[in-house]
Amino acid sequence: MYRLYDYLPSGNSYKPRLLLSLLGIEYERIDVDIMKKETRTPAFLVKNPNGRIPALELENGEYLWESNAILCFLASHGTPYMPTDSLAAAQVMQWMFFEQYSHEPFIAVARFILMHTDPSDPRRAELETKMDGGYAALDVMEQHLAGRDYFVGESMSIADIALYAYTHVADEGGFDLAAYPGVRAWLRRIADRPGHILITDA
């Protein structure tokens, strides 16, 4: 059985938790509180030397970390969430790289700042830049979703899961999705999937 080292509020941890639920795979969830620096302990650093969650302990005792790498591993065993066509698979990776470089550093970080700092914290000065970057990512997503239901092909893939994780809680980072009807419709489609769980579901 897999063990997922997880922190419930984290969108990055939510990605594999959501995919495991969609696939109906049983696993053991182990809570690691990043606010108490539990990912920086010697015991955890053996699991992930980068000191971050999530980390997935495999049945053979090896550890896999980085949320999108975990998604690729879980989806690549004959599931509908990773295309077999080489171009479609590359397009899935394209959007997952976009999520990590152009989306998560803005939307996720703005959310973290608002949720975990007080108004006097110096990090609040970063918010304007984070908001600009986040809205730029949402613009790209809205344009791409015009006339299509999912990011790659005709069905949901791990690209959608990667982008859904922080987009569906973007309001917690101060983002207003009112001007993004395509994104909002896409969020509803994913939320309606059998096996969907909330980010707060253990």
Over residues 82-113, the pLDDT tens digits come to 999 999 999 999 999 999 999 999 999 999 99
Is residue 16 within 8 A of residue 201, CB to CB? The reply is no
Judgement on whether residues 94 and 71 belong to the same structural domain of the protein: no
Which residue, of 75, 95, 117, is where some domain finishes? 75
Judgement on whether residues 92 and 129 belong to the same structural domain of the protein: yes
Give the pTM. 0.96
Tens-digit pLDDT profile for residues 114-148: 999 999 889 999 999 999 999 999 999 999 999 99
Which residue, of 50, 75, 100, is where some domain finishes? 75
pLDDT of residue 202: 75
> Could you check whether the bond before residue 119 is cis, i.e. omega within 30 degrees of 0?
no
- The overall average pLDDT reported for the chain is 96
The answer as to whether 198 is a domain residue is no
Judgement on whether residues 60 and 131 belong to the same structural domain of the protein: no
* pLDDT at residue 77 greater than cutoff 90: no
Percentage of residues in the chain with pLDDT exceeding 70?
100
pLDDT of residue 90: 98
